Structure 1
Amino acid sequence: MKTIVELKDATVQVNNGFDEVKTILDHVNLTIYEHDFITILGGNGAGKSTLFNVIAGTLMLTSGSISILGEDVTHLPAQKRANYLARVFQDPKMGTAPRMTVAENLLIAKFRGQKRGFVPRRIHHYQEEFEQLVQKTGNGLEKHLETPTGLLSGGQRQALSLLMATLQRPELLLLDEHTAALDPKTSVSLMNLTDEFVSGDKLTALMITHHMEDALKYGNRVLVMKDGKIVSDLNQAQKQEMTITDYYQLFD
């Protein structure tokens, strides 16, 4: 099995301002394999967001190492890891440019990571492609290609963020509680779309969620974090035997 990301004894310590050092990621060992769809559960302060940040490079390890596709990226900043990773944030405003249209946002995502000179953007050349792409969302985005993204609903904007994140097939897709800010109906719709993209396109994804039902329903692995550690790593077979009550007991 191809290894996409590997963390070895990944540790992050911070000074809390009172000359005390707090460990927020505690010697985490994790291997993410190609086509894994891993859901991550844990209470506040469990280390979920810290884990995402050290993988993305927005937070550096105090000790330990991280590699992506066999390359040691422990000391590489976020911009150097962007060629491997894409991330959808909890806040719908984070993944798109509000004053640019839907089509303009998609054009940026289409050429993400490529060198571009000062040439005409020729956005009309991609009109049909973008229309077909946004129809996958099922929320009317195809009618809003010329609409500034800031005028979209939260659900439409988050669906656009997902489209943009997956357009270039990242080696690893980070889904950072990406349904948390949405109403229940829109959240279910976006999760169905997420599963369609991840499973249908055979992407590798890591998803933080507070919804136990989503952890049961989606993905092939479940990680449970507590106090900066991974306390459970359940495979597909173990996951299928679990109930929501079982998941709650993992937090005890």
Structure 2
Amino acid sequence: MKKIIELQEATKVIQNGLEEERVILDHVSLTIYEGDFITVLGGNGAGKSTLFNVIAGTLPLTEGRILIHDTDVTNWSPAKRAQFIARVFQDPKMGTAPRMTLAENMLIAYYRGEKRDLSSRQLKEKLDYFKNLLKKIPNGLENHLDTEVQSLSGGQRQALSLLMATLKKPDLLLLDEHTAALDPKTSKDLMKLTQQFVEEMKLTSLMITHSMEDALQYGNRLLILKNGQIIKDLQQDEKAQLSLQDYYQFFD
């Protein structure tokens, strides 16, 4: 199987008060293979967000290495890693530019990871393309290309963020509790859309969730984090044998 991302003894230590240190990621080694859809569970402070931040490059490692396609990217900036990694955040406001239109937001996503210059961005020429892409989202957004994103609902913005993150197929899609701020029905609808995108585009994805049901239903692997360490890395067949009660026991 082809390796996409590899963490080798990834460790993050922060200063927690005067001359006090706290380990928030503790010698984590993890290999993510092409086509993996990995769900990540863990209590508060388990290290889930830290794991995502060190992969994305927004938090530098204290020790260890991160490789993308066998290239050491440990010291690469988030902008440089953006050519490989896309992310959908928990807050619907974080994945989009609120005062720009849907079309302008999609144009930003279109050029994700590319160097910017002073040449024309050719928005008008891409409107039909963007309109067809928006038809993938079953809420009529294809008819609102000129609408400012700030006028959309949270569910619409998250669906748009997902579409933008996958407009150029990323090597790794980070789903950072992307349904947590939504009501139950909207959350369920977005998870169905997420699964559709993963299957159709054959995406490699890592998804943090607090939903035990989603952890059971989605993905071919499950990581369980506790105290900055991966305490379980379950494959599809192992995951299928566990009940909700089994999952709760991991957090005792």
- TM-score range normalised by the length of the shorter chain: over 0.9
Structure-2 residue corresponding to 1:136: 136
Aligned length: 252
Q: Deviations along 1:67-111, whole A, 9 cap, x unmatched?
A: 111000111121121111000000111011111100111111112
C-alpha RMSD of matched pairs (Å): 1.1
Q: Name the SS for the 1:214 alignment partner.
A: helix
2:189 aligned residue: 189
Within 1, Cα distance between the matches of 2:53 and 2:114?
24
**Residues 28 and 115 of structure 1, relative CA distance in 2, 3 Å threshold:** closer
Determine what percentage of the aligned residue pairs are the same residue. Answer: 64
Whether 1:227 aligns to 2:215 is no
Cα separation, 2, equivalents of 1:121 and 1:26: 44
Q: Distance in 2 between matches of 1:111 and 1:58?
A: 20
Q: How does 1:148-227 map to 2 (within 5 A)?
A: 148-227=148-227
Where 2:24 maps in the other structure, the secondary structure is strand
> Hey, what's the Cα distance between the residues in 2 that align with 1:128 and 1:15?
51
TM-score normalised to structure 1 length: 0.97
Query: Following the alignment from structure 1 to structure 2, what is the Cα–Cα distance between the partners of residues 199 and 229?
Result: 29
Say whether 1:7 aligns with 2:30. no
Equivalent-residue separation in structure 1 for 2:113 and 2:59 (angstroms): 21
* Length-normalised TM-score, structure 2: 0.97
Provide, for residues 124-158 of structure 1, a one-character-per-residue CA deviation record: whole Å limited to 9, x for no partner.
Answer: 32222212211111022112111000111011111
1-structure distance, mates of 2:59, 2:114: 25
> Which residue identity lines up with residue 45 of structure 1 in the other structure?
G
Residue type at the aligned position of 2:32: I
Runs of 4+ displaced beyond 6 Å? none
DSSP 3-state at the match of 2:67? strand
Determine the C-alpha separation between the residues in 2 that align with 1:115 and 1:23.
36
Aligned residue number for residue 18 of structure 1: 18
Aligned to 1:31: 31
Aligned equivalents of 2:131 and 2:48: distance in 1? 35
Which is further off, 154-163 or 114-123?
114-123
**Bigger shift: 220-229 or 18-27?**
18-27
